[in-house]
Chains A and B, each alone.
Chain A
């Protein structure tokens, strides 16, 4: 039995372990689960709120509000979060804005996962010149300050939700490629893969049957953490005016619009900010929690 001299935690404890771990394994296990279930529940709630609720309940339209209704405070009857300065109901803008955020994040991560993941696996598995070229290309993309390039792309292509997705994918693809390449390299020389290779199993079979399933946990947690980043970036684009075109609502735009009224009606900024924060932190906590759970020692 090793003597735990320096009161250090066991080596390899991931940095994301925020768990208030008790001394006993039962409590620890329970809290670990809590670490995952709570953020997951919050996210599900948000998704429900944004996508399902409008289908069930007659939510006021997010645009085209009457100026007569403008400036209602939080808690006003019929408008839980109040209305903005042109009379739109804030809650519904939050709802529909949230749809945008989730859609963009999901699409960008899906594209990154499929395209970037595939590229990384191919480069990692086959190696050689393909790999070297890819690495250099990845280096270039990673060297690029993403926001800057994304701005340029969106500006050139024109503003639309689809273009935003394309622009953001330009950066999620290299990120996924890097991760999947690293994972592939690590898995490639594992005994079970080597055995398959030696038995002349077809490459794509090995990839799909052995490599990909073993990479999935890691890719999944990366997707979650990446989704958080995407949501913030997309919000930044909207904030700067280069994202989703008017009149569609989005959290970033709501925050930007609320800027001018910050001292008078801070709720215009605070409400979307809270939703943004809760979404992002839930994604981060979930990603971290899953990573801690699935970490291979």
Chain B
């Protein structure tokens, strides 16, 4: 299954047999097809990254709407506007501006936030950890719940657990994140008072992060349970699972020890697909729960017409997506032993 970014099909890159006679692992790696594959993927990712930077800049700067006027407000005098325009370099052609920005980017300089008057990078540095914690928390919940649930479903197809989880999955994929968030707040914060509705601390407090993480996790669980269950069932119709059953293992063991290993490989390729939706949901969730992460900051920056900051955040998001997709492609190549070891026959 190919992922979007690198557009190469995992596993179909030219894999030549490793040197005859085997040899030590290090020797195998050095001349191995693995490095070649990695190199190729990275190479493909670069133009995509560039395209991302380009698109970001164009969208935020080439569209109608005068940043200077918006910043200064409707009451600004023409002179003030002109001064601001010059200060923001808005009078220069868009290509020049793009070039300057790109150069700065490559030096690690994302400009200065107009609102905060600090380097964009330092602001991002403060906000990213919060978002990171939230996302990691959500992913942990997701996998802790989806994997066993998928196994239970696959163990008895059409059984009670299976039907229930399919219904749940469909429902969770049809709920909008904002609706889900408010629902959870209504039940758990307002009525049961187990968790706060708005973040109390400055971020990092588990209690603050729990409801938001659950909000993010539920649609993900819906997706992954469905996917894993389908993949596990496919694995169960493969011959090797019959061999495993013939050893005297229970279905559960066969699913979790044999089928799951093979399904994970498929899972890795799918992770990247969800990323865009996850980011969108994160923006909404941070807003609703008052978490000061980059999603929340993005909305604020847009509101304040803080163009450099918006650029920086959008770039960060897009880069993450590209890198994650690249990472999953590479991981796929590594964890599938068939690809890792080439096709050597003794």
Contact = CB atoms under 8 A, between A and B. Distances in A.
A/B touching: CB–CB < 8 A? yes
B51 to A, nearest CB: 4
B47 interface: yes
Interface stretch (A71-79, A193-201, A232-240): A232-240
Given A144-B321, A157-B63, A236 B176 contact: yes
B55 A144 contact: yes
A69 to B, nearest CB: 25
A211 interface: no
B90 interface: no
B167 interface: yes
Interface in B313-328: 313-314, 317-318, 321-322, 325
A130 interface: no
Contacts of B47: 136
Contacts of A70: none
Interface in A30-67: none
Contacts of A233: 280
Interface stretch (A12-20, A86-94, A118-126, A214-222): A12-20
Give the size range of A's interface with the partner.
Answer: 35 or more
Contact of B5 (A11, A137, A142, A155): A142
A280 B176 CA distance: 9
A151 B63 CA distance: 13
Given A11-B234, A284-B170, A240 B52 contact: no
A156 B65 contact: yes
Contacts of B245: 5-6
B51 A139 contact: yes
Interface string A117-153: 0000000000000000001111111111111110111
A255 B182 contact: yes
B166 A148 contact: no
Given A143-B5, A143-B322, A236-B176, A9 B157 contact: yes
B266 to A, nearest CB: 12
B233 A13 contact: yes
A252 interface: yes
A16 B229 CA distance: 11
Contact of B178 (A11, A14, A137, A239): A239
A190 interface: no
Contacts of A140: 48, 51-52, 55
Contacts, number: 173
A269 to B, nearest CB: 5
B190 A263 contact: yes
A281 interface: yes
A228 B190 CA distance: 30
A136 B287 CA distance: 33
A155 to B, nearest CB: 5
Contacts of B51: 136-137, 139-140
Contact of B280 (A15, A136, A145): A145
A76 to B, nearest CB: 22
A273 B182 contact: yes
B302 interface: yes
B4 A139 contact: yes
A219 to B, nearest CB: 19
B276 A142 contact: yes
Interface string A233-273: 10110011010000000001001101100110010010001
A294 interface: no
Interface of B: 4-7, 47-48, 51-52, 55, 59-60, 63-65, 157-158, 163, 166-167, 170-171, 173-179, 182-183, 185-186, 190, 226-227, 229-230, 233-234, 236-237, 241-242, 245, 275-277, 279-280, 283-284, 287-288, 298-299, 302, 310, 313-314, 317-318, 321-322, 325
20 contacts: A5-B245, A6-B242, A139-B7, A139-B48, A140-B48, A140-B55, A143-B48, A145-B321, A148-B280, A149-B59, A152-B59, A156-B59, A228-B174, A236-B177, A239-B284, A259-B182, A277-B174, A281-B171, A285-B170, A288-B170
Given A16-B226, A145-B314, A280-B176, 5 more contacts: A15-B226, A21-B158, A144-B52, A156-B63, A235-B176
Closest 10 CB pairs of A and B: A147-B280, A156-B63, A140-B51, A281-B174, A145-B279, A15-B230, A8-B237, A142-B4, A8-B236, A280-B174
Interface of A: 5-9, 11, 13-16, 18, 20-21, 135-149, 151-153, 155-158, 178, 228, 232-233, 235-236, 239-240, 242, 252, 255-256, 258-259, 262-263, 266, 269, 273, 276-277, 280-281, 284-285, 288
